[in-house]
Amino acid sequence: MPRSHKLPSPRSLLLAAWLAAPALCGAVTLAMPLRDPATHATTTCQLEPPVFPPALRAAHASGGVQVELVLGLDGSIEFAQVRQGSGQAAFDDAALAAAGRARCQPFRDAASGAPVRGSALARFEFHLADGGGASRPQAEPLTLNSEQRAASPPQVFPANYDEALSVLVRAYDVDAVVTAGMDKAFARLPERIGPVPKARFVECTRGHLSGPVLEQVVRPGFAMVLSDPDLMLKLARLLNSPLGRKVKEATLAGKALEAAGITGADALEANRMLESPDLRAFLDGGGLKRINDAVAPYLFVASRQARDACLKELVPPGTYPLQNERPA
């Protein structure tokens, strides 16, 4: 992380929520066939009905949530995200938690039978039973285009290594972290940097450190720490989970964990993800800190290069001395 804004370790926050997670009660699963009408790739998912939020049950509320599930070649859910919300955050969170518990077979190409990567939409409906009794929300799956990518023979670095690295870098949300750090740094700058108004300097710097640029900058740092694409995708799923997103947002906003809005369903979903032995070992072994430490030098160099480039672009030659800072 940038030296001006180093995040506290999210692991301790995740662990606190994980330990507070309620035990998972037995739930009825629904076997749902998913089929792509264009490619005819098919799969089957076991979907648990979502938990109806008690406050919304008491208010006799109802709604539906559409969640996108992205499945890997082995049928694992690489990540889930809300594609069409209900307007009620509690419904959205409950649907995401249920989607994260899905157990799916890999998509199969209709012609060859080979596993293919793909994505599908599942719709979760929340309606109270007639007469105001206990609700039984149902999961109604829809379909979305499936990507035709046949499985490849094992390699030293599997064919999806670069893709998994990209998914993890995006999940880490480096752009948001760097933006938060830059905001704090810019707030301390005078209104003019030499003859240049601060607003122009800020705009220039942000242009040099855009999201796509930062993703390329930090990739070598991530690659130094992680080489297993499966572990990368598991970590990305955790960071993209409701709990992961809320912890990141609260941390960047300087809020306490208690104000992050983490629900029992959020913690339960994270708990299920942390049942993965390799993911848990990575986190318990200080994996996030190792990523931070590996990425920080690349971000530091990129920020200095952006600063120097903007000064050269905006300051007339000879009017503002630039020093080439070098370590002693």
At 106 the pLDDT is 80
Alpha carbon dihedral 244, 246, 249, 253, in 10-degree steps, equals: -130
Q: Quote the tokens at residue 91.
A: 């419904």
CA distance 134 to 136: 7
Amino acid at 24: L
Ordered by where they begin, the domains of the chain are 10-19+156-314 (no CATH), 30-141 (3.30.2420.10)
Residue bearing tokens 């929520």: 17
pLDDT in tens, the chain (328 residues): 333 222 223 333 333 322 222 222 222 333 445 555 455 667 777 777 777 888 888 888 888 888 877 777 888 887 778 888 888 888 888 888 888 877 777 877 777 778 877 777 777 877 765 444 333 334 333 333 333 333 333 333 344 778 888 888 888 888 787 777 777 777 777 787 777 788 888 888 888 888 888 888 888 888 889 888 888 888 988 888 888 888 888 877 777 777 778 776 777 777 778 888 888 889 888 888 888 888 888 888 888 888 888 878 887 766 555 444 444 4
Alpha carbon dihedral 173, 177, 183, 188, in 10-degree steps, equals: -160
At 205 the pLDDT is 82
CA distance 202 to 247: 27
Query: What is the pTM (predicted TM-score) of this model?
Result: 0.49
Q: How far is CA 198 from CA 110, 189, 203, 283, 305, in A?
A: 59, 7, 9, 40, 18
Calculate ∠ Cα 152-103-264, nearest 5°: 130
